[in-house]
């Protein structure tokens, strides 16, 4: 019989947007172990947990998730064909940035016309 899914406590999300889930775990095996991570019935994503060297040496993996606003969100880990890793702690936090806002760079516009260029090119250099 395959291992059963492992659910985690629910939390309420005050605002929409991407969150970061930090997962502390141990994997004393020789190969990475995987688990499917699903947030409140949404599309599952595969998370890989590399070996940590021993079953007492922790490692951390961070995953971005998009929970539903204001409702109870449950993280569910599962693997229908193999054992997952040993979980220690799980923390859900906002994306890094001012006041939890995602840090986004500004466009330079240096390459803005690259797709609209009318210059033709050949293998021997520029054609005029």
User: DSSP per residue over 42-101, as a string?
Assistant: S--EEEEE---SSTTS-EEEEEEE-PPTTSEEEEEEE-SSS---EEEEEEEEEPSSGGGP
pLDDT at 27: 94
Q: What is the mean pLDDT of residues 7-29?
A: 77
- Give the SS3 label for residue 29: coil
Q: What is the mean pLDDT of residues 102-108?
A: 54
Given a cut of 60, whether residue 60 has pLDDT beyond it is yes
Q: 121 pairs with which residues across the strands?
A: 126
Q: What is the mean pLDDT of residues 6-11?
A: 57
Name the pTM for this structure.
Answer: 0.66
CB 52 within 8 A of CB 21: no
């Amino acid at each position: 019989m395959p291992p059963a899914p492992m659910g985690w406590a629910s939390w309420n999300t005050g605002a929409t947007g991407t969150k970061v889930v930090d997962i502390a775990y141990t994997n004393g095996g020789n190969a990475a172990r995987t688990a499917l991570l699903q947030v409140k019935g949404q599309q599952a994503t595969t998370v890989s947990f590399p070996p940590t060297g021993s079953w007492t040496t922790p490692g951390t993996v961070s995953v971005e998730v998009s929970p539903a606003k204001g409702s109870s969100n449950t993280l569910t880990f599962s693997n229908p064909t193999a054992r997952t890793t040993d979980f220690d702690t799980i923390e859900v936090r906002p994306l890094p940035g001012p006041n939890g806002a995602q840090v986004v760079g500004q466009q330079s516009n240096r390459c803005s016309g690259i797709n609209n260029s009318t210059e033709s090119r050949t293998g021997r250099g520029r054609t005029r």
